[in-house]
């Protein structure tokens, strides 16, 4: 998917919401475990059917699928296939946080971009240029690199000063020089809205995937005030606050209601 197709979808739906499909068998409605052969996919399908008109992206975190071995991997494959067939306008993100030396990163890129046909994948920056550029080589695919994350551990290394500026700013600036840098997006946590102004000085146009609104304390208005671009440039992720809005048979409708609250806030901001 091209960036302009993503922007067009945002304008049409009046939403820049991404829904995180972090499916934990201990947290989904327990009737699904009894009734469904593949409860993870059944859960995802119901959530997607109920919320697809309110969001522009879905983001399964691969950890939640790998934890169930081959069965989990099958659920992930079914979920991305269902999204690509039934809702091809949706932007899909494999939240995998991968990164390895050159030829190995190419294997990961093929796994997520070709075999699973995701539009994008998240990567970690620690191994530098030759660990990320193999992902950037894929046309109309997007590589979403960790910059400033929303967890407490972000302050261990990301905000330390390197050559006069924080490491995450150094990561942002360096990455702009890489081949096919136009295919980069970045993860920036919403818990530090005041940082968005500085970040936009370095990457004024790039899309940012923003976790941490809601449950982790981030404020949507603040993030938009400092982080929004002429093309919106933001994908706000919510996972647990939407998909676990109810643990009963009404879980899909409850998820849609929670998603709609965020989408209405976004609509107001866009207008």
Binding site for its own copies (CB under 8 A): 22, 24, 61, 63-64, 66-70, 73-74, 77, 95, 97-102, 104-105, 107-108, 110-111, 115-116, 124-132, 146, 149-158, 160-163, 167, 170-171, 174
Answer yes or no: are the C-beta atoms of 168 and 148 closer than 8 Å. yes
Minimum separation from the CB atom of position 269 to its own copies (A)? 26
The beta strands (E) that lie in the chain are given as 17-21, 57-60, 91-98, 120-123, 142-148, 161-162, 165-166, 184-188, 208-210, 234-238
Q: How far apart are CA 240 and CA 233, in angstroms?
A: 23
Q: What is the 3-state secondary structure (H, E, C) of 181-202?
A: HHHEEEEECHHHHHHHHHHHHH
Q: Which residues of 213-249 are buried (b: 16+ CB within 10 A; e: fewer)?
A: bbeeebebeebbebbbeeebbbbbbbbebbbbbeeee
Minimum separation from the CB atom of position 128 to its own copies (A)? 2
Nearer to its own copies, 129 or 267 (CB): 129
Query: What are the residues whose beta carbons fall under 8 Å from the beta carbon of 44, sequence distance 6 or more?
Result: 21, 23, 60, 75, 79, 82
Nearer to its own copies, 93 or 146 (CB): 146
Minimum separation from the CB atom of position 64 to its own copies (A)? 6
Is residue 97 annotated as a catalytic residue, yes or no?
A: yes
Query: What are the residues whose beta carbons fall under 8 Å from the beta carbon of 247, sequence distance 6 or more?
Result: 27, 28, 29, 30
CA distances in angstroms from 145 to 92, 156, 187, 218, 239, listed in the order given: 15, 18, 6, 20, 19
Q: Which of 14, 78, 97, 257 is catalytic?
A: 97
Minimum separation from the CB atom of position 270 to its own copies (A)? 29
Nearer to its own copies, 88 or 153 (CB): 153
Give the strand pairing for 208-210 and 17-21: unpaired
Nearer to its own copies, 13 or 98 (CB): 98
Nearer to its own copies, 73 or 225 (CB): 73
Alpha helices in 87-219 (DSSP H): 102-109, 129-136, 154-157, 167-175, 196-202
Minimum separation from the CB atom of position 140 to its own copies (A)? 20
Minimum separation from the CB atom of position 111 to its own copies (A)? 4
By annotation, the residues acting in catalysis are: 97
């Amino acid at each position: 998917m091209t960036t302009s197709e993503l922007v067009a979808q945002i304008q049409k739906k009046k939403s820049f919401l991404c829904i995180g499909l972090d499916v934990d068998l201990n947290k989904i409605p327990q009737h699904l475990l009894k009734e469904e052969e593949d409860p993870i996919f059944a859960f995802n399908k119901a959530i997607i059917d109920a919320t697809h008109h309110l969001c522009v992206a879905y983001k399964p975190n691969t950890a939640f699928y790998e934890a169930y071995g081959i069965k989990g991997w099958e659920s992930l494959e079914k979920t991305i296939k269902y999204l690509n067939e039934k809702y091809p306008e949706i932007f899909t993100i494999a939240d995998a946080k991968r990164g390895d030396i050159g030829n190995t990163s190419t294997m990961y890129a093929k796994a997520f971009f070709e075999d699973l046909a995701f539009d994008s994948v998240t990567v970690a920056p620690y191994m530098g240029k030759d660990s990320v550029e193999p992902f950037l080589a894929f046309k109309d695919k997007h590589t979403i690199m960790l910059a400033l994350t929303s967890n407490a551990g972000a302050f261990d290394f990301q905000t330390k000063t390197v050559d006069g500026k924080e490491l995450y700013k150094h990561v942002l600036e360096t990455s702009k020089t890489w081949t096919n840098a136009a295919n980069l997006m970045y993860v920036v946590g919403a818990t530090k809205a005041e940082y968005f102004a500085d970040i936009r000085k370095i990457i004024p146009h790039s899309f940012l995937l923003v976790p941490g609104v809601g449950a982790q304390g981030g404020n949507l208005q603040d993030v938009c005030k400092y982080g929004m671009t002429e093309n919106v440039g933001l994908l706000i992720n919510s996972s647990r606050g939407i998909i676990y809005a109810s643990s009963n048979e009404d879980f899909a409708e409850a998820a849609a209601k929670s998603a709609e609250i965020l989408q209405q806030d976004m609509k107001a901001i866009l207008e």
